[in-house]
Amino acid sequence: MILRREIYLIQLLFVISLESCPSGVAADPAPPNFYPPAQPSVESQSHIDSRVEKLLSQLTLDEKISLLAGDPADGMSTVAIPRLGIPKLIMADGPQGVRAHGPACSFPSGVALAATWDTNLASLYGQALGREARARGIHIQLAPGVNIARTPLNGRNFEYFGEDPFLAGKMAAAWIRGLQSQGVAATVKHFVGNDEEWRRMEIESIMDEQTLREIYLRPFQSAVEEGGVWAVMSAYNKLNGSPSTANAHLQEEILKGEWSFPGIVMSDWWATQSVDAITKGLDLEMPIPYQVTKESVSDALADKSLTTDRIDDSVRRLLRMMISMGFLDRPQKVDDLPLDSPVNDAPALDVAIKSIVLLKNSPVLLPLDRNHLQRVVVYGPNAQDTPTVGGGSGGVVPFRKVSFLEGIRMAVPQGTEVFYAPMPISEGFSLSKFLDFTIPIPLPPRIINIHRLISVSDESMSRDVSSQQKYISLMWDSHNPPPDIPKGHEGRVVWDAVIELPETGNYELQAEGHPEIRLDGNELGNPESYVLSGQKGQHIPLHVTASEVGRGSRHVSVQIAPVPAEATGLFPARGADAAVVCLGLNPEVEGEGYDRGFSLPLDQQNLIKEVAAANPHTIVVLSGGGAVDMRPWIENVPAVLQTWYLGQNAGTALAAILFGDENPSGHLPSTFDRSVDDNPAYHHYPGEFPEGQSWPVVNYQEGIFYGYRGYDRAGTNPLFAFGYGLSYSAFALSDLTVNPLPSGDGYSVNLQVSNTGARGGATVVQLYISLPGESTPRPLRELKGFQRVELGAGETRSVTIIIPLESLLYWQPTKKKWVHPEGMMNIEAGFSERDILQQVTLPPLSKDTLSDENVTILASKHAPPATTNPLH
């Protein structure tokens, strides 16, 4: 039987051949000694083990301790041991490209890649990013992220692969294999339960074992067992009572025990809470020795709370990764690889095009016929300043980027007029050609009785500034520290105030800098815009918290403005052939460290309504990592495109879809809620402060019934279903058959897929499993297979999807183990979770199917940890 570590080596040494690449995409030529040998042997693993043990025996205790934390010289690498030829391993963010090493290719976001439902493309994405890293000498890429889109409000959903653990796991595994084939180690993150950014460094996630196993651990398990990932990053949050960095159940029992993970567990930056984390399975503290220092480790060894064997295990894992990846035997930087590579740009563009989801096209407006366009008007804040990615450590500075506006202008014939109306309106710019609003302005409301509490380190001071400060605003930079916070320190500023409404009506709360807002006792998270209604003279309590005050350069402010009772518009552009409104989310409102609101700002909503009222050929183009509230306007527009964050080729990709050069083929990797109140997990979000406890807690009370599983259980309809996506063509399914595999360890699902339209295109065949006969409550259906299929006009193709027996297992909460289904199974096929077109019912699994041999194979992947890990 091949050991898991040998599988890792085989995956590492495998290189996808040029012939397997799609047309127009090829790998960069391999410089000498760039790729590892193509034919690994079992002896090579033995050789690796021998080298690891030899190096380990030559390290002093102080040198071993130095390898337990990042290099304090830069905070983005491990420590080098030059006398033994051990290099420092250079790390880089992140999932969408190489960050902070100069300009680099800005790839589409993780959720965009997931929307392609294309594992081959995920592998090519990983390979291209691997070449980007090797060109810059990067050993470890801090990606991919596989946290679950439990609600649409998580500020980092754009980095991840959607709501379904099966889809996320398959895409992540392919991504990892692609990256690591180029000699760069991947880091799957954030392990685990880091599914919102609100209070992410303090919050505790509470979930039962079934929810943990079936949903939130599954993508990580795929990354380990199928992807062969070499590093796992633990999260900031606590999980079920223990910090993630010091959670032995997660790190020792499950990850290193049950899954036989041979690599390293590193902390998220500054996440380690004590040296005890090393005893609980953490191997590497980042970014510097903070809790895991020479002194703290020495003290732990002295009181026997930490052993030298445990230190050896962590160092052994680091050395094993180094040697297996070739880091000790070649320069990591490959000078022959260009920093600005058109070869890497090709899959980035391919992903961008294939990820765009056509949400609505009724009455049919798209594609636009460019040869019959005389005037196109383009509106919205994202048209010219098109966001390439969300905010935070995943940001990449590209060499160049194509905005939506530029992409449209380049795609239309010479002579076609393309007019752009910016929003907000820039000073001195006239919109007389397009728009003339007449808006009655109500009396402005006031924020009164402002009190401010400032906390710096362990000291707090409170000062009543209501007589001096009439607004909530704070600005600072490296030369001008915030008031009352010493230069070089960080603090937290809390404002308690009251909103006084001058008139009955609607008002918009507008926030900059991502402060945390509590309004009238309700936690709002970090919304950029929030609309409230009230009566004349009403007083509404407002609580605003700004964290990390003093870090970098920021401006934090909160203000409130009246919402106009009436707004009328006149559009001389009414005769335009098409109006394209580009808006949605951006890095300022969606990113690391802050969650977002569900509603678009009022000015964006009003813009859609006014443009749609003036022009029946209105196309709404949405940027962002997930759903927003479309109820106020979606019935008034014929066409809506979800574009996610498309990276440096955003405009080129959008134009290809708008003008029919490409047929849209993206499918939603997350359910799009009609209302955030309908979301099955929203009522347990973002969390609460239990009495007597200083940190917040989020309880995953919905269990496994979140996302589409929760909608199915409640019998309610989302706005757009999981897996949904329209095309300029039409597709059909037929002849679904299911046969046991000759080996007895799964099923072969076969069906016919037809393109019944007049043009070529692609769709995603999705397989779902339903287990209606179980004693344990199960979802109505769960994704267990998928395949993206490209078909010419009128073409029919046979598709085969394998469902391994293992994928039918589910966690039985009473027995506390993985079990096989007890009753019949339904295998369903369709083009979305709500568009099921074919179904076959299978009898319960027989004793022959569950032979001793098969049960042993399945159990080996989920067995409790052995007393001694064979990899130790």
Rounded distance, CA 394 to CA 97, Å? 8
For residue 21, what are its two tokens? 């690449």
**CA proximity to 225, closest of 663, 806, 750:** 806
How many degrees, rounded to 5, is the angle at CA 13 between CA 9 and CA 16?
Answer: 135
Rounded distance, CA 806 to CA 812, Å? 14
**CA proximity to 164, closest of 862, 645, 668, 818:** 668
Q: For residue 298, report the phi and psi dihedrals to the nearest 5 degrees.
A: -65, -40
Rounded distance, CA 223 to CA 733, Å? 31
Choose the catalytic residue: 118, 164, 268, 283: 268
The answer to whether the beta carbons of residues 465 and 474 sit under 8 Å apart is: no
Dump the DSSP string for 784-826.
EEEEEEEE-TT-EEEEEEEEEGGGG-EEETTTTEEE--SS-EE
Rounded distance, CA 390 to CA 369, Å? 32
Exposure string (b/e) for 551-583, b if CB count within 10 Å is 16 or more? eeebebbbebebebeeeebebebeebbbbbbbb
Rounded distance, CA 282 to CA 569, Å? 60
Helix boundaries (H) for 356-415: 381-384, 404-411
The answer to whether the beta carbons of residues 617 and 581 sit under 8 Å apart is: no
Cα 603 from chain centre: 27
Rounded distance, CA 108 to CA 120, Å? 16
Give 3-state DSSP helix, strand, coil % of the chain, rounded to 5.
Answer: 25, 25, 50
Residue type, 679: N
The answer to whether the beta carbons of residues 629 and 725 sit under 8 Å apart is: no
The answer to whether the beta carbons of residues 830 and 733 sit under 8 Å apart is: yes
Q: For residue 126, report the phi and psi dihedrals to the nearest 5 degrees.
A: -60, -40
What lies within 8 Å, CB to CB, of 694 at 6+ separation is: none
The answer to whether the beta carbons of residues 501 and 535 sit under 8 Å apart is: yes
Rounded distance, CA 242 to CA 470, Å? 43
Q: Could you tell me how many residues make up the chain?
A: 872
Say whether 385 is catalytic.
no
The answer to whether the beta carbons of residues 521 and 540 sit under 8 Å apart is: no
Cis peptide before 94 (omega within 30 of 0): yes
Indicate the pairing of strand 746-755 with strand 446-456. unpaired
Residues belonging to the active site:
268
